[in-house]
Amino acid sequence: MKQPKRCHFLEEHNPSDQEAGAYPPGLRARGAPLKMNCMKIKAMIVFALAIQSVSAFGEPRGEMETIVGKQWEIGVELLRRDTDHAQRVFSPYSVHSGLALARLGAHEKTASELDSLLFGGASADLFSAYGRLNREIQGEGSGAACSVANSVWVSDRGEILPSYQKAVVESLSAEARSITSAHPEKAIEAINSWVSSKTHSRIPNLLSPGSVDSDTSVVLVNALYFRGKWIYSFEKRDTTQEDFWLESKKSIQVPMMHGAHSLAYFESSDWQGALLPYQGESYGFALLVPRERLSTSELATKISPSLLRQVVRSSQYVEVELSMPRFSIRQRRDLAKSIAALGVPSAFSADANFSGISTLPALISAIVHESFVETDEEGTEAAAATAVIMPLGAMPHEGSVKQLRADRPFVFAIVHLSSGVPMFIGIVGDPR
């Protein structure tokens, strides 16, 4: 295999910003760069539950520090708990914000538990920021596009409370819609159609037959769409069949892409990582690879929110010769048990109190989540959708060249750089 061409270094982040814990600013090339074999990715991330942001260059704004930290914690915990899959992918931003839709209508113990999970304490002063944050992450450009949509579907057996409708519209720009209890199949069709339209048809059938019935009182849905292209793309002629190590002594052959980049780079005694920017430089793809060959299960036990955030915050730019496989992930699951185990059991029990949503009693019975990610030399497409269903209730030096080979199970995250929000997080354990 021929060696990838070299790239010029990009401007290094001001050390004073690093000391302040800031994320790297937009990348700017020094001089005219040489022709490079680098990455180009377009990603569409769609998730049925909203998202949240924090500040310019990742320095969280006051009270938002805890929210972003909680989003990373939720994402990592979901990766750890999904023990049945080699390929794993979630949107912490979406899960967090979807539960925030539920929190806006919760009271008493249910509200207290959701506050602890989502905010680390009282939420009274935080919901006013949601609308601003949703607007901040959205936009359309030549290299990236992002949009967020929320909806609340209430059974015609009751009525949405005006106070709740006002809150979700002001905080999350949510649409309020009615579903016909006598024809639950039409409700499923309507919700699926809404999700499909918001996800560019990537998630056409989020809800399966029977997931909504005549006793369903509320369904909370959010859709996130993201498309991003790498600043540089892979050359297809450099993609070769190579080993990917599923564990220490077991490998498979996969198409491995190659490129040379000047990137924000992180390393420790156990890890290597890099941040790959998308065009427009508002979003980045954080890649974290263990130095030793670990299985997917072993990898999941070793990662942490702080470790992943170190990759995103890295301001040391070096030339990285990167090898990464094409990969495709599609998953569908119910997150209810995992979320309940994170400290909100009452929301899923007869003790649930969501009396602030509608005139009907409700508890959470399911959190349906489907996600899809596919990458190749031209880019990445990704989609995800989630519905909360509620029935009647009851380190290196510049100049060194680093080799970064993602030829074993690795972690990735797609991050909104100015806020530090983890929009998408996953493990690639078997890229076949």
The full set of domain ranges for the chain reads: 35-43+232-327+397-428, 56-228+329-391
Topology of domain 35-43+232-327+397-428 in CATH is Alpha-1-antitrypsin; domain 1 (2.30.39)
Distance CA 353, CA 367 (A): 17
pLDDT at 219 over 80: yes
| pLDDT attached to residue 55 | 37
pLDDT at 170 over 60: yes
pLDDT at 287 over 50: yes
DSSP string, 297-362: HHHHHH--HHHHHHHHH---EEEEEEEEE-EEEEEEEE-HHHHHHTT-GGGGSTT---TTTBSS--
Helix (H) or strand (E) run with residue 257 in it: strand 250-267
Percentage of the chain exceeding pLDDT 90: 50
The stretch 202-225 carries a mean pLDDT of 91
**pLDDT band, residue 356 (cuts 50/70/90):** very high
Residue with tokens 């040391």: 316
Mean pLDDT, the chain, integer: 81
pLDDT at 268 over 50: yes
The stretch 326-336 carries a mean pLDDT of 89
The stretch 134-146 carries a mean pLDDT of 78
Superfamily of domain 56-228+329-391: Antithrombin, subunit I, domain 2 (3.30.497.10)
Chain segment 43-64, per-residue pLDDT in tens: 222 323 333 333 333 434 566 7
| pLDDT attached to residue 5 | 39
Distance CA 229, CA 233 (A): 8
Distance CA 174, CA 169 (A): 5
| pLDDT attached to residue 290 | 97
Residue of 189, 231, 229 lying closest to 211 (CA atoms): 189
Distances (CA, A) of 301 to 205, 289, 292: 32, 14, 14
pLDDT at 243 over 60: yes
